[in-house]
Chain A
Amino acid sequence: MNSSPVDASASDASSMPQKRFSNLRSVRWRIDLGVLPSSPPASIDDIRRVTADTRRRYANLRRRLLIDHHSPKYGKASPDLTVDNPLSQNPGMHELLAPLVYVLHFDLDHLTQVQKLYEDFFSDEFDKISFPEGDLLSSHRIRRVKNWESGIEIENNLHKITNDHSRDELDPDTREMLLLSDSYGAEGELGVILSERFMEHDAYFMFENLMFGDQGVVSMASFFSPVAGSNSNLPPVIEASSALYYLLSIVDSSLHSHLVELEVEPQYFALRWLRVLFGREFCLDDLLVIWDELFYSSNSRYLDNDVEFNFEVLCSPRGAFIAALAVSMLLYVRSLLLATETATTCLQRLLSFPQNPDMKKLIEQAKSLQVLALESNILSSSCQTYSNKNQLTICRGYSLPSASALPKTSLNVIADRYWEEQWRVLHKDEELRKQSNGHLSSSGIMKKILTKRLSFSRTNSEPFEGNNAHALSSVRRRLFDDSSEVIEAAKDHVKSECNESPVISNNLNVGKGFPEELADQRTSNCMVEETFLSGHNALVVSTPTSPHDIGNDHENESEKSSITSNSFLGDNDEETISMEESCSQNKQDEESTNMEEPCCQNLDKQLAQVAEATSSGDVDSIPEQIAAPKDQKPFAGKFQWLWRFGRGSKEENQESKRSQNAGHIQKDGFDISQCDGTYASCGINKRIEVGDKKVMDTIRNLGQSMLEHIQVIETVFQQDKSKFDPLDNLSNNILGGKGQGTAIAALKELRKISSLLREM
């Protein structure tokens, strides 16, 4: 009669292995919770014996603790009234007990029904022979796992020999139920597994095992009050809440980030979910299904003690299932949650879970997430340290709302890796920027050098004070500012590339015969320049192009060579050319003098802008310094000295090569210094360009300013042209003509460059 157990189960079983006693929830749960033995071959007898034992234990317990009708049962200490009062929003432990009692009741009802149906079999008679009644089996074919069947058979044979034949014809469930409720089986009445008389005992033990986890990981009692000796200082329920957020971040980072953004801490809703194991979220029938799955997952810790893990609660399949179910619930209402704008509405939606969810889908998703949760719980050592480092940014989403501060170190959270990396990348950028900005060179030396340099160049400037472009003077005045800031900015730049200074200084000093101090100044200037020039971009051209319009053609070649020898260590040929051009432009006629001013201003501005990008220096400070030499106005700035000095040095360089009149020489001086300044600004530009976005903006600004200057220069050019013609001698006129041509060319160049820059 009995089909071979394995075959039957194999053919009939669904994808999931059938559980024992699957129609008797209370028994099933008792086994899962550990009240009853769960080892597969546990016979009904064993089960009965254990049942009897538990009931005896409970009876003893009750006798000890029960004083009168209203004393607390279960040996509880005085309950925490903030949780346990009738108005408390927090669910009480009794809500965990209620479904347990319910299933006991339910099974008893079921038993009574079956008893009614199979009256004969359930009769109290012993060793009585009776024959089966008709076709009782047809409506009760339920597939079952059969590994216990042989055991059952033996039981049958032992106890109900005479009824053996009849029993065989019963379906397995009923047979089982018979045995479970048999008053004459092992342990007699006390062993009757489905017994109304001992419902209290059974309920107690189910409750106890649920609360204390049966030496497993998840113990519900810990969710209600902290358990001493836990690893972290976190209350377990808070830790479990963060565990579910962590799982959510792995599965659906956008929803997770949305919730974090709204500052919806997980425990706001998870407290209620976890403490009564979702008892308040689902109707009873659904809840029973969930608890079936939940209890089916074993509660034993599956990790070794020395394996590091993220969350305590995820160390057992049951805990993982709890977290997974919570996440799958969140995903179920995902669109609703993403639509919320405030934390309040979000919580409202979370705490009023839809009435009739698709339980199957929920549970299946939960099962798949359970596996994920178990895997993700194990931390590798590298991740551990990493997460520790970044806890500040990551843990913010998991901090407690209340005053009790969480020690961050205890919460090993690896939030979404993507966000971590983003944070790291941003942080690095920030640091880089700060580094580039914050370097302070040997300020004292720099100041000294610059002062000397600028003082030298000042002497050169005096003859030119007469040729003021009034149109530009106002501009210059506008740009007048404190020089120290500029120096600071320069220093900042200088510091970063100090190593290249010797080369530059050598170059500059060649053939110049300048006093050492000046050389130093130039060195520093060149240092600055070098710094700036060492970048990779060829964009620096903006600054130098400004003096283009000033243009003296014949100066170009010599200029180029001098410039090249001087400071270009980088591979910036474009830059060189442009610089040369600009410098050549600087070798100006009187007419170009005026051009210089805007160029200077341009340079200044650009330098300043660059400084702005790196520090909070004024835009005006640099231009002021560079523009100074041409002015009659005494500029306090030191860069002007620098500029003039540079000009002077250039003069020297060019003298031998060119046949120029004194005016030119002086202009050369201007040019050189301006070129130097140009270098500086170029360098600054380049220096900052290196991988820094701010510089892009700066460059754009530079382009913009360049354009403005071009316009200014053009107007001045026009003015000066008319002005100069009657005054200058022939040579000058020639030069002027040439200058004009070059100036126009330079202007075009400027325009091109500025457009380029603006595009950046």
Chain B
Amino acid sequence: MVLVLAIGDLHIPHRAPDLPAKFKSMLVPGKIQHILCTGNLCIKEVHDYLKSLSPDLHITRGEYDEDVRYPENKTLSIGQFKLGLCHGHQIVPWGDLDSLAMLQRQLDIDILVTGHTHQFKAYKHEGGVIINPGSATGAYSSMTYDVNPSFVLMDIDGLRVVVYVYELIDGEVKVDKIDFKKTATTQSAH
């Protein structure tokens, strides 16, 4: 049971002061093995905080990030899955499934995690999964002010991933779960 946190678009301190307290109480160090951060943290302090949650932290650059050294895309492998990370402002139209699918094919990944729209989305698409964890602080986006804080926790277990989405609605944390199963990849034997 490998826990992978997908989080992003916090926009601290410009658009939000901090994570919601209820989220912070859930995110305790030691529970999560990997963190995939889509970007727009924006400052180093947030980076340090996320680092304290888990040593294995992957960040891609959002357009407001103050650290310019984050990459645009990132791919990594966890268990049987290949994961990809990108902020998403580069993919136009923003949040468009087909364009995101293009990126997924391009990166050759099973799970693509992007952000920027500040809206939680999870698509099953062409044998893969595209996840948008939304904004963890509920910061407003370029497109809407009506944003519920949310983040995603993936539980990778062999060929199966359970996606838990945590959303803060009306002050209460609501959890939802989506199951994805990866069809056994046919690898050409060498």
Query: Which residues of A line the B interface, CB within 8 A?
Result: 70, 81-82, 85-89
Contacts and interface: CB of A to CB of B under 8 A. Distances in A.
Nearest to B155: A86
Interface string B137-180: 00000000000000001010000100010100000011111010
B97 interface: no
B1 A86 contact: yes
Contact of A86 (B3, B176, B179): B3
B160 A81 contact: no
7 contacts: A70-B160, A81-B176, A86-B31, A87-B3, A87-B164, A87-B166, A88-B175
A89 B26 contact: yes
B26 A87 contact: yes
Nearest to A82: B175
A556 B162 CA distance: 103
Contact of B25 (A70, A85, A89): A89
B164 A85 contact: yes
Contacts of A89: 25-26
A80 to B, nearest CB: 9
Nearest to A80: B175
Contacts of A85: 153, 164, 166, 175, 177
Which one of A70, A85, A87, A88 has the highest number of Cβ atoms from chain B below 10 Å of its Cβ?
A87
Interface of A is mostly: loop
B26 A81 contact: no
Given A87-B153, A87-B166, A89-B25, A82 B173 contact: yes
What are the 9 closest A-B residue pairs judged by CB atoms, nearest first? A81-B175, A87-B26, A85-B164, A85-B175, A82-B175, A81-B177, A86-B3, A86-B155, A87-B153
Interface in B9-31: 25-27, 31
A86 B3 CA distance: 8
Band of interface residues on B = 10 to 19
Nearest to B175: A81
A534 to B, nearest CB: 61
Given A85-B166, A85-B177, A86-B3, 7 more contacts: A70-B179, A82-B173, A86-B153, A87-B3, A87-B26, A87-B164, A89-B25
Nearest to B3: A86
Contacts of B26: 87-89
B134 to A, nearest CB: 16
A592 B164 CA distance: 95
A342 to B, nearest CB: 17
Which one of A81, A86, A89 has the highest number of Cβ atoms from chain B below 10 Å of its Cβ?
A86
A632 B176 CA distance: 88
A87 B31 contact: yes
Contacts of A81: 164, 175-177
A88 B160 CA distance: 20
Contacts of A88: 26, 175
Contacts of B3: 86-87
Contacts of B160: 70
Contacts of B25: 89
A82 B174 CA distance: 6
Which one of A70, A82, A85, A88 has the highest number of Cβ atoms from chain B below 10 Å of its Cβ?
A85
A97 to B, nearest CB: 15
Given A81-B176, A82-B174, A87 B1 contact: no
B174 to A, nearest CB: 7
Contacts of A82: 173-175
A79 to B, nearest CB: 9
Contacts of B173: 82
A85 B174 CA distance: 11
A413 to B, nearest CB: 29
A267 to B, nearest CB: 16
Contacts of B27: 87
A171 B25 CA distance: 54
A344 to B, nearest CB: 12
A81 B176 CA distance: 7
Contacts of B155: 86
A69 to B, nearest CB: 9
Contacts of B176: 81
Nearest to B179: A70
A582 to B, nearest CB: 70
A70 B164 CA distance: 16
A81 B166 CA distance: 10
Contacts of B175: 81-82, 85, 88
B153 to A, nearest CB: 6
B33 to A, nearest CB: 11
Nearest to B172: A82
Nearest to B151: A87
